[in-house]
Amino acid sequence: MQVTPPPTGDTPWEKALDVLGEDLIIFGCLDPTIWVSGDIERIGPTLDAIVTPRLREARFVLHPFADGICVPVERFYAVGRWIRGRS
């Protein structure tokens, strides 16, 4: 099952939990308009918006994909800063 949250899709990850239950494991990735081509300063605020408190309690794995595309290492650092700020 593929669920795509905004800005590309219209289905937040939480909807998958609503339909399939809390035991679901979600592997979530960042939208390419944020992750690859967007302003790096928007990565943290975007994660704040889409990784809700409920999702933080769920079986959720954030997967910043970089398979076959050039993603500057600074973008990975931005995700790391966001993760450290959440702990």
For residue 2, tell me if it sits in a domain.
no
The tally of domains found in the chain comes to 1
Domain annotation covers residue 32: yes
**Domain boundaries, position 59:** 13-86
The pLDDT tens digits of the residues spanning 20-73 come to: 899 989 888 888 888 888 899 999 998 998 888 999 999 999 888 777 788 899
Asked whether residue 6 is domain-assigned, the answer is: no
- Is residue 3 assigned to a domain? no
Instruction: Classify residue 58: in a domain, yes or no.
Output: yes
Residue 82 token pair: 């966001």
Residue 25: strand pairing partners? 59
pTM: 0.79
Q: Is residue 68 situated within a structural domain? A: yes
Q: Which residues, in sequence order, are CB contacts of 66 under 8 Å at separation 6+?
A: 76
Bridge pairing between strands 59-62 and 25-28: parallel
In a domain, 30, yes or no: yes
